[in-house]
């Protein structure tokens, strides 16, 4: 009877340790932070944050924290969106993504490959917050071939207005904003594929 009790206690203890260890594994290590910006996504005049973190799969994960109002207390930040593998992140300079803020206060996610191979590219997403959803409202993409000067191209699309540029020429296309949570490389509009 005592051995069963100890076995049960051991199993419960092991389960608790496993839970605590997995929770610890989810906590981010600051050495993995690639970039962070402070902005006001929600329009409440609060300092909210976006943090880009290197993951283990040659990508970067985006954490967006919005202010959480508690009556009578200071604003507290709460995780509002986590997009795993939002962009490519390589192992060296010229492949590391970053965050920025444009003149209208929207989040910019910048990525690219400017260091390895013949196919070089840069990509910038403009992320907006509309109706309590994070949307990719703009995409700027440039591709070039280091061995073929005529290879590649560029696009700058406003997905909110369905207007943009392809290789410097104005275009209008049936474009719609893409939910940040739904983004994948396969969703890159054909106007930006070269």
Output the pLDDT for position 16.
Answer: 38
Mean pLDDT of the residues in the chain: 86
Output the pLDDT for position 13.
Answer: 45
Q: Which of 27-36, 89-98, 105-114, 137-146 has the lowest mean pLDDT?
A: 27-36
Comparing CA positions, the residue from 93, 92, 9, 109 lying closest to residue 51 is 109
Confidence of residue 14 (pLDDT cuts 50, 70, 90): very low
In sequence order, what DSSP letters do the residues of 35-80 get, joined into one string?
A: EEEEE-SSSSS--EEEEEEE-SSSEEEEEEEEEE--TTS--EEEEE
User: Is pLDDT of 27 > 50?
Assistant: no
Instruction: Give tens-digit pLDDT for 156-185.
Output: 999 999 999 999 999 999 999 999 999 999
User: Is pLDDT of 126 > 60?
Assistant: yes
Confidence of residue 4 (pLDDT cuts 50, 70, 90): low
Output the pLDDT for position 15.
Answer: 41
Asked if 37 and 50 touch (Cβ cutoff 8 Å), the reply is: yes
Q: Kindly state the percentage of the chain with pLDDT values over 70.
A: 81
Domain ranges of the chain: 2-192
- What is the average per-residue pLDDT within 91-110? 94
pTM above 0.85, yes or no: no
Comparing CA positions, the residue from 39, 41, 67, 38 lying closest to residue 137 is 41
Q: Which position has the token pair 């199993």?
A: 11
* Six-digit token string for 62: 């985006």
User: Is pLDDT of 8 > 80?
Assistant: no
């Amino acid at each position: 009877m005592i051995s069963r009790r100890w076995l049960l206690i051991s199993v419960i203890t092991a389960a608790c340790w496993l839970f605590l260890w997995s929770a610890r594994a989810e906590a981010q290590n600051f050495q993995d932070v690639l970039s962070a910006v402070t902005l006001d996504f929600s329009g409440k005049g609060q300092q909210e944050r976006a943090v880009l973190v290197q993951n283990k799969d040659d990508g970067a994960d985006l954490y967006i924290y919005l202010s959480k109002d508690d009556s009578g207390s200071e604003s507290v930040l709460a995780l509002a969106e986590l997009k795993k593998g939002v962009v490519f992140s390589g192992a060296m300079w010229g492949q590391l993504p970053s965050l920025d803020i444009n003149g209208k206060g929207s989040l910019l996610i910048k990525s690219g490959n400017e260091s390895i191979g013949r196919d070089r590219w840069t990509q910038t997403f403009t992320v907006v917050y509309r109706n309590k959803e994070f949307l990719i409202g703009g995409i700027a993409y440039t591709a070039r071939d280091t061995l073929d000067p005529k290879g590649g191209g560029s696009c700058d699309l406003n997905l909110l207005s369905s207007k943009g540029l392809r290789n410097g020429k104005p275009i209008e296309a049936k474009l719609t904003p893409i939910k940040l949570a739904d983004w994948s490389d396969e969703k890159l509009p054909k106007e930006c594929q070269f």
